[in-house]
Amino acid sequence: TKTEAAAFDVFGFEPVEANVKDTITLPKDYQWQPLVSWGDPMWSQGKAFDADKLLDCAAQKLAFGDNNDGMKHFTVQGRELLAINNEYVNFAGFFSNRKSTAPETVDDICKTMEAVGVSIIEIQETEAGWQLVKDSPFNRRITAQTPMEITGPARGHALMQTKQDPLGVEALGTWANCGSGKTPWGTYLTCEENFNGFYATEATDFEINDDLKRYGLAHKGYGYGWHEVDVRFDLAQTPNEPNRSGYVVEIDPSKPNSKPKKRTALGRFKHENAEMVIAKNGQLVVYMGDDERGEFLYRYVSQNSYKAGADIDDLMENGTLSVAKFAEDGSGVWLPLTPDTTGMSLAEICIHTRQAGSKVGATTMDRPEWVAANPNKAEVYCSLTNNKIRGLEPNKGGDEQSVGGPNPRAANKYGQVVRWIPEDGDHAADKFAWNLFVLAGNPQVHASGLEAGSANVDVSNMFNSPDGVHFDSQGKLWIQTDGKTSNQGEFAGMGNNQMLLANPQTGEIKRFMVAPKGAEVSGFAFSHDRKTLFVGIQHPGEWGIESTFPYGDVPRSTVIAIRHKDGHLIA
Ligand code: FEO
Ligand code: CA
Ligand code: CA
Ligand code: CA
């Protein structure tokens, strides 16, 4: 109730200290429990997770995927669902040979293809806490094999055609699913980020052209071996296949048999998330970051307006993509990407979106991660996580990365959060004003200057590499980190990754949670009654940092549920 919400100040908690413990640390009076971890069976014919045997590919097909990242909550027919991204695979403790850090068998490779994508689960609160509802008709796995409709301007274009799909209208699967979004009509948006590393080729004479290079394609990928079992992933054999990933995919969690739709109108890049708002006049606006050093910040505006009975496919297929250009004086403008401004066709703009952005002179950014729109006012936040080559090297596509504007530091190791206010409070307007909400830094190591961070950073709340930014229903901004956890040198005193709560009006920031070792914090949702906050703990134990989270054995990416012990509304 309103009274209850007013009686409890979510911002009133005692901040937690930085630490390097291998567990979750919360303020006094808050409790957590694991909700679902990599490998938990979603159906009763699946196998209970066994840390000694681990899963084979067949068992993974029936189980929650790895590396949970972005997620959203849905209430469907009074039942609570979470749609959760499974971004990639944490090779430590994943393969059938538990000691191995690379796939050794065809079944290992198959298992990685089944461990990525999206998991949709029904959840329920019981006396024993929150639980996954096994065998729910809504439970669904979407993997690297799930057929998807290609929609929008790029559908059917020559660059989208392959031997397996000569019409260029149906792609198989999604992976590298990073951030997420939710539409007002109740569907889920999953965003393909580091898709490039899943392609490779043994053909050393295959030429990686500039268009492939701009997207990071290379002879050697991340070591998944997918090209060894499926020609789709062999660059030399199927050079157009990478043009079919790097999109935002729309999924309807209320219809478990529905075919996901790749929305090419929203552009192709290393999509972080898709923050959707409705502009004053009803046009649909989607803000999106491209998480790569020196890449851009994007906005999509639908041609038509969202209203009851609107044609959703039209709204998601017909619109204009723009890129942000920031000026030193605190002003900014969205530059439209059209055939006129770029000399490219609409389809090409949607496939080679980065190249289009370069043509109009967009501002190169310090790795734009999540974007979050304030529900209480027309104001938008984006975390710029870090950029070790700012001021030193051009990005992969060749754009220079000068120091200044919203990217004020060379070799930026700590990151910042930029915010902008659209002109006239209109998200569809072409102009905006911007400022930095927080410049992360280390005031323990640097007494003053830009490396010490902005005025709202002190030794009690310092952090590096902001990543997830999420507004709750009370208009507070949650900031999640994915950074350096050495706790030494430039990062001394920062401890493990963390989640902080910020007051957008005052700029005040307090540390709410510290994550276990080697994990980043990614994924944010709250229950229907707003008394439980679901938070993603991704890849505990990554990069050889030893972790046994959450069950004292093999480290497992996990969604946790956080509550106040007295059951207050916390989100
Ligand atoms: Fe998957 Fe940019 O984080
Ligand atoms: Ca991640
Ligand atoms: Ca991220
Ligand atoms: Ca990140």
d(CA 438, CA 241): 39
From its phi and psi, is residue 235 left (phi > 0), alpha (psi between -120 and 50) or beta? alpha
Q: How is 486-548 classified by DSSP, letter by letter?
A: --SGGGTT--S-EEEEE-TTT--EEEEEE--TTPEEEEEEE-TTSSEEEEEEE-TTGGG----
Mean pLDDT score, 356-361:
98
Name the closest ligand to CA 272: 1
Question: 344: which 2 tokens?
Answer: 């490219």
Tell me, using a 6 A CB cutoff, whether residue 472 lines ligand 1.
no
Name the closest ligand to CA 67: 2
Question: 228: which 2 tokens?
Answer: 């060894």
462-477, pLDDT tens digit by residue?
999 999 999 999 899 9
Backbone φ, ψ for residue 503 (5° rounding): -100, 110
Q: What angle do CA 353, 356, 362 make, to 5 degrees?
A: 105
Question: 446: which 2 tokens?
Answer: 């640097």
CA of 126 to the centre of ligand 3 (A): 31
Tell me, using a 6 A CB cutoff, whether residue 230 lines ligand 1.
no
Which residues make beta-bridge pairs with 271?
Answer: 290
Q: What angle do CA 242, 245, 247 make, to 5 degrees?
A: 145
CA of 290 to the centre of ligand 3 (A): 10
Tell me, using a 6 A CB cutoff, whether residue 178 lines ligand 1.
yes
Tell me, using a 6 A CB cutoff, whether residue 193 lines ligand 1.
yes
d(CA 300, CA 227): 33
CA of 69 to the centre of ligand 2 (A): 5
229-250, pLDDT tens digit by residue?
999 999 999 999 999 999 999 9
What does DSSP say about strands 140-142 and 117-126: parallel, antiparallel, or unpaired?
A: antiparallel
Tell me, using a 6 A CB cutoff, whether residue 66 lines ligand 1.
no
Residue 545 is predicted with a pLDDT of 87
Residue 186 burial (CB count, 10 A) = 13
> How far apart, in Å, are the Cα atoms of 290 and each of 150, 193, 210, 232, 524?
20, 8, 18, 24, 20
Mean pLDDT of the chain: 97
Tell me, using a 6 A CB cutoff, whether residue 366 lines ligand 1.
no
374-406, pLDDT tens digit by residue?
999 999 999 999 999 999 999 887 799 999 999
Question: 130: which 2 tokens?
Answer: 């929150």
Q: What angle do CA 137, 138, 139 make, to 5 degrees?
A: 95
Question: 343: which 2 tokens?
Answer: 């000399």
Name the closest ligand to CA 193: 1
* Edge-to-edge strand ranges of the sheet holding 147-151: 170-172, 147-151, 261-263, 248-251, 188-192, 177-182
Ordered alpha helix ranges (H), 84-173 = 106-115
Closest-lying ligand 1 atom to the alpha carbon of residue 176: 1
Backbone φ, ψ for residue 268 (5° rounding): -120, 115
Position of tokens 């509802």? 133
Residue 395 is predicted with a pLDDT of 86
Name the closest ligand to CA 538: 2
Interacting residues of 92 by C-beta distance below 8 A, sequence separation 6+: 101, 541, 542, 544, 555
Instruction: Give the residue whose CA is nearest to atom 1 of ligand 1.
Output: 178
Q: What angle do CA 350, 328, 435 make, to 5 degrees?
A: 80
CA of 388 to the centre of ligand 4 (A): 13
Mean pLDDT score, 52-79:
96
Ordered alpha helix ranges (H), 69-220 = 106-115, 210-214
Residue 544 is predicted with a pLDDT of 83
Closest-lying ligand 1 atom to the alpha carbon of residue 272: 2
Tell me, using a 6 A CB cutoff, whether residue 291 lines ligand 1.
yes
CA of 314 to the centre of ligand 4 (A): 32
d(CA 455, CA 352): 40
Residues with CB under 5 A from ligand 4 (ion): 467, 482
Closest-lying ligand 1 atom to the alpha carbon of residue 178: 1
301-310, pLDDT tens digit by residue?
999 999 989 9
The letter for the amino acid at 334 is: W
* pLDDT band per the 50, 70, 90 thresholds, residue 40: very high
* pLDDT band per the 50, 70, 90 thresholds, residue 3: low
Picking from 265, 260, 261, 262, the residue whose alpha carbon sits closest to that of residue 284 is 265
- Residues of the chain with pLDDT > 90: what percent? 95
Name the closest ligand to CA 292: 1
Tell me, using a 6 A CB cutoff, whether residue 272 lines ligand 1.
yes
Closest-lying ligand 1 atom to the alpha carbon of residue 289: 2
CA of 166 to the centre of ligand 1 (A): 31
CA of 1 to the centre of ligand 4 (A): 36
Residue 33 is predicted with a pLDDT of 98
- Is the CATH code 3.40.1690.10 the one for domain 2-134+152-193+246-564? no
Q: Is the pLDDT of residue 265 over 70?
A: yes
CA of 160 to the centre of ligand 3 (A): 27
d(CA 276, CA 180): 10
Interface ipTM: 0.96
83-135, pLDDT tens digit by residue?
999 999 999 889 988 889 999 999 999 999 999 999 999 999 999 999 999 99
CA of 45 to the centre of ligand 4 (A): 35
Residue 96 is predicted with a pLDDT of 87
Tell me, using a 6 A CB cutoff, whether residue 520 lines ligand 1.
no
The letter for the amino acid at 73 is: H
Tell me, using a 6 A CB cutoff, whether residue 87 lines ligand 1.
yes
Tell me, using a 6 A CB cutoff, whether residue 521 lines ligand 1.
no
Q: Would you give the DSSP letter of residue 158?
A: G
Domain ranges for the chain: 2-134+152-193+246-564
Closest-lying ligand 1 atom to the alpha carbon of residue 69: 1
Residue 204 burial (CB count, 10 A) = 7
Closest-lying ligand 1 atom to the alpha carbon of residue 369: 2
End-to-end CA gap in the chain: 13
CA of 523 to the centre of ligand 3 (A): 9
Mean pLDDT score, 202-226:
97
Q: Is the pLDDT of residue 187 over 60?
A: yes
Picking from 213, 212, 369, 361, the residue whose alpha carbon sits closest to that of residue 293 is 369
Q: Is the pLDDT of residue 26 over 60?
A: yes
d(CA 514, CA 495): 8
- Residues of the chain with pLDDT > 70: what percent? 99
